[in-house]
Amino acid sequence: MEKKPLYHFLPGSKLLSFGTVGCNFDCAFCQNYTTTQVNKNASSLDWVINRYSQKITPKDLVDLALSQKAAGIAYTYNEPAVFVEFARDTAKIAKRHGLKNVYVSNGFESPEAFEYMHGLIDAVNVDLKSFRPEFYLTVCKARLEPVLENIRSFFTAGIHTEITTLLIPGENDSPPELTDIASFIRSVSPDIPWHISAFFPAYRLTDIPPTSYSSMLSAYRIGQKAGLRYIYLGNVRDPQKSATYCPGCGQTLIDRQTYRTSLKNFSPDSGTCPRCGEEIAGVWH
C-alpha cells in the first residue's frame, strides 16, 4: 500500500498492482515512460507487446489478488483513465469479493470518466505536479485546472485522497509555488496527506540533478506552515519524515522504514491517538 504511496489507507496491507500502456500526458520527467509513452511509437509498442505483455481478464486479476491475500487492486503505472473500461470491469468484480480499488492517477479525466467509476474507487493518490498552468502545458502537455477540479471531486465523493508532488529542481520547487500547492490542498482539507517526492533524472529530463534533501525539508516546512496535518517525504531515507504523528500532541503513531510499516502507538480499530484522543484521518480497517 505504501508504494502507491498511500499512508492513511489500510497501512501495511498488500495490493495487486497492474497497468497497461499509454497516457493522456507526456511528462518530460516520466518515471514510467517505457510503457506510458510507448504507444506513441508503433515499432516500440510492438516490441513491448511481444516482450512483456500478457493477456489477462478482469476475473484473472481478481483471482490473482485473492490468491495473494491482497487487500485490493491498484490501477497504476500509467493513467487509469486510459483503460477505464477495463478498470471498471475489474473493479466491479473486485468489489463483489470484498477487495478495495485504488487509483494512482494524474488527475486528468473527464466528468464522464469520473462518473463511470462512481462508487467503485475506494482510494486515490493524485500527482499534483505543479501549480502553474504553463508547467502543465509545456512540461506535461496537459492542463492544470481539470486536475484541481478532480482532486476536489475525489475528496467530495468520499474517496480517500492523498496527493503526491515530485519536486524537480528549478522547475516546480520555488517557495511561492509550493505554498500555492500546500494552500490548495489545505483548502480542500488539511487532513489530506501530502507526499513530497524526490526527483531523479529520467526520460527527457536527464540534465537536471536529483532533488536535494534541503529542498525536500524546505517543502516539508512550507506544508506545515500552510496548515497541512500530514506531510511525508518520499524517495529519501528519513524515517522521521515518513512517520505519522498525531497532529494534536505530536505522538509518533506509525513508523515506516522504506516499505515496512509498524503501528507503534496506534490501533486501527479506534483510529485515534492513544495519548490525547485525537482522531487520525484515514481508512484504517
106 pLDDT more than 60: yes
Q: In whole angstroms, what is the distance from residue 83 CA to residue 265 CA? A: 40
Helices in 166-239 by DSSP H: which ranges? 175-188, 213-226
User: Is 275 contained in some domain?
Assistant: no
Per-residue pLDDT of 129-153, as tens digits, reads: 999 999 999 999 999 999 999 999 9
Rounded Cα distance between 85 and 121, Å, is 13
pLDDT at 44: 60
247 assigned to some structural domain: no
Range of the domain at 31: 15-242
Residue 213 within a domain: yes
Tell whether the model's pLDDT for residue 98 goes beyond 90: yes
Answer yes or no: is pLDDT of 191 > 60: yes
Report if residue 7 sits inside a domain: no
Domain count, the chain: 1
What's the pLDDT at 97?
Answer: 98
Residue 72's CATH number: 3.20.20.70
Q: Would 34 be classed as within a structural domain? A: yes
CB of 276 within 8 A of CB of 248?
yes
For the stretch 45-91, pLDDT in tens is: 666 666 666 789 999 999 999 999 999 999 999 999 999 999 999 99
- Rounded distance between C-alpha atoms, residue 113 and residue 42, angstroms: 26
Q: What is the pLDDT of residue 196?
A: 98
Are 162 and 209 in contact by the 8 Å Cβ rule? The answer is: no
Does any domain span residue 6?
no
Q: What region does 141 belong to: left with phi over 0, alpha with psi -120 to 50, or beta?
A: left
pLDDT digits 0-9 by tens, 110-120: 999 999 999 99
- CA dihedral 132→167→161→98, nearest 10 degrees, is 130
pLDDT of 25 > 80? The answer is yes
Residue 282 lies in a domain: no
Is the per-residue pLDDT at 205 higher than 60?
A: yes
Helices (H), the chain: 33-36, 42-51, 58-67, 84-96, 111-116, 133-139, 145-156, 175-188, 213-226
**Domain annotation covers residue 227:** yes
